[in-house]
Amino acid sequence: MVSALGMTAMLGGCGSTDSSDTTLKLVAADYGDSAANSSKKYWAALVDAYEAKHPDVKVQVSVYSWNDVDAKVKAMVDAGNAPDMAQIGAYADYAAAGKLYPMSDTLSIGTQADFVPQLADAGDWNHTPYAMPFAASTRVLFYNKTLFQQAGITPPTTWEELASDAEALKAKGVKYPFALPLGPEEAQAETMQWLLSGGSGYTDDIGTYTIDSAVNGETFTWLKDDLVGKGLTGPVAPGRLNRAAAFAAFADGQVGMLNGHPTLIRQAEAKGVKFGMVPSPGRTGRARAAMGVTDWMLAFRQNGHARQIGSFLDFVYEQKNVLDFSRKYGLLPVTTSASEAMSGSDAKTDVPLHAFLEQLPTAEQYPVNKTSWAAVSAAVKKDIGQAVSPGGSPAGVLTRLQAAATAADSTAQSQG
């Protein structure tokens, strides 16, 4: 699964290869979009600073694109050559297989306590914290201020207002009044944001899949009839519109509104688009929760380096280092101390992220602690666009997805 937080080409490793008492191996994802801002540079500087204080520990970091990093770690684990640490997008399968250290076996109590609680909770498997949050984002509604001014409208707070604004934008010739990317790249994210704004989600409060609930059916029926059916989502069918294409169209000034995350800020600013950000509208008011996405740091048991891993990761999660990473890549800090520092900052890099930070404590995550989620996410990516297509049946599509989710969950539980 490609992370919502970053994507670029594979790059080589960083860190010293000198001999020492202990050498830790970390496989990490790249959040940069070029060699100039690759995560390779971030890790190289961090490792140098750590090794200067801990000469008995060396850290070797290999950085891969989001297209490759999860598969790379899986291949290493399957071959019996797990890294000591992996910074990737999923963890439940490794936790279920007993491959990971519980968080309490590595991190200091202070570091554990500093994680944003909502993010730390999402890293639990079977009521035990295994995955450490590393990077986070939430979603807000982006709107083009210039197009809104030309249409004489204000940002919506409800679905009815959103549809009305989209009608006004369409009347002014805007190509995509509301961009609805339900294409396979990241349909699971756009879907979740709409399920939340409709008052439900993928699962209920106890973690049972409820994809075909009546509330979710009403949400997708509204999307099909009141947005897509009225020609308010643009010339590309939502099931064929990917997130990257929607973001690019927004940066080109062709989109009135869309759900977006912090990466879009720099993309739009680079093209000179004047934009605003507001909480995603809900059925009758503000959505009950924003969608949150978290990428994870895992500590593997295989090499038995719990103490050294903990020492290094305590350093990684120091406030200064968390802020440095978050500011460099336009992402949200995963620790409370760094979040509070960013929230109270008026720095140019920090102010645009305040709208996302406000949502982080209550944002809802994918059900990543379910080993079935990968299969369910893949099914959503493949099929959800059909729910809003001409002649499509929202209820029928959601029923099929529910059946697939129930089967995947049953298989995962039997294997566990």
Name the H helices within 79-130.
Answer: 92-96, 109-114, 117-122
* Average pLDDT of the segment spanning 93-115: 96
Distance CA 165, CA 131 (A): 41
Q: How far apart are CA 221 and CA 205, in angstroms?
A: 24
What fold, for 138-291+367-414?
D-Maltodextrin-Binding Protein; domain 2 (3.40.190)
The single residue listed with the structure tokens 């890293």 is 123
Q: Does the pLDDT of residue 3 top 90, yes or no?
A: no
In the chain, ranges of CATH 3.40.190.10 domains: 22-137+293-364, 138-291+367-414
User: How many angstroms separate the CA atoms of 244 and 264, rounded?
Assistant: 10
What average pLDDT does the chain have? 91
Q: Which residue has the higher pLDDT, 389 or 411?
A: 389
179-230 per-position pLDDT tens digit: 999 998 889 999 999 999 999 999 998 889 999 999 999 999 999 999 999 9
pLDDT (tens digit per residue) in 233-248:
999 999 999 998 999 9
Residue-wise pLDDT tens digits, 263-284: 899 899 999 999 999 999 999 9
Spatial contact of 345 and 276, defined as CB atoms under 8 Å apart = no
CA 44 to chain centre: 24
Residue 202 phi, psi (nearest 5): -75, -30
Predicted TM-score (pTM) of this structure? 0.84
Rounded to whole angstroms, how far apart are CA atoms 221 and 392?
Answer: 10
Residue 17 has pLDDT above 50, yes or no: no
- Strand (E) or helix (H) holding 125: strand 124-125
Average pLDDT on 318-326 reads: 96
At 34 the pLDDT is 75
What is the model's pLDDT at position 416?
56
Confidence of residue 305 (pLDDT cuts 50, 70, 90): very high
CATH class of the domain comprising 22-137+293-364: alpha beta
Strand order in the sheet with 140-144: 176-178, 255-260, 140-144, 275-278
Identity of the residue numbered 335: T
pLDDT, position 8? 35
Confidence label for 35 from pLDDT (cuts 50, 70 and 90) = confident
- For the stretch 36-85, pLDDT in tens is 888 999 999 999 999 999 999 999 999 998 878 988 999 999 999 999 99
When pLDDT is cut at 50, 70 and 90, the band that residue 1 belongs to is: very low
